Amino acid sequence: MDTAREPHAGKAHTGKAHLQDRVPVRARQLVREPFTARTWRRVAYALLAVPVALAAVPVGLLGGRAAAGRWQRGLVGRFLGARPPGSSAGVLHALLALPLNLVVAAVTLYGWSIVPMNIGWPLRGGDPTTSWGGPTFAGAWAFHAVLGGLGFLLLMPWVGRGLAALQVRLATALLARP
């Protein structure tokens, strides 16, 4: 066994060494998460869930229950990766999930809009003497760009992940009903 290539070969794997190995992985994941397809599929679901639900309710009530269920299951499957079993409960899901979907859409739109709004703070024309990070222009821009722009860029994927988990649980519970 070549111990020069394997840093932990022949040693007991201590908790501290294990933590030190995981910190760079977690940091890398934190920085990469805003740029993954999975994050943007969750954003797309958050924005599409409300209009699809609003379209599914009248279609389902006018006799297209199977179509409404397919729309709901297809949206959850395509964007969130969950595969709820088939049922005709699409109208029920559309109605009961609508309040959650409205909250998720509002949080998603607001949270992601903060990123470019704060990175482009000078374009908004704020007064740096009264802005956070002021009184200098550079200080105000740096404060907004780092905390508001980059901070929310790193935070929003995790907020979206939590909200999407709630949506998946609700969809799985409601769309699996007979």
What is residue 167's predicted lDDT score, i.e. its pLDDT? Answer: 86
Domains in the chain: boundaries: 15-175
The CA distances from residue 78 to 70, 83, 137, 163, in Å, are: 12, 9, 45, 16
Res. 161: pLDDT tops 80? yes
Indicate the burial class of 53 (C-beta count within 10 angstroms; 0-12, 13-18, 19 or more): buried
Quote the tokens at residue 75: 């949206």
Model pTM score: 0.71
Q: Using one digit for the tens of pLDDT, what is the confidence trace for 47-99?
A: 999 998 888 888 878 877 778 777 887 888 888 887 766 666 777 778 888 89
Quote the tokens at residue 58: 């009248």
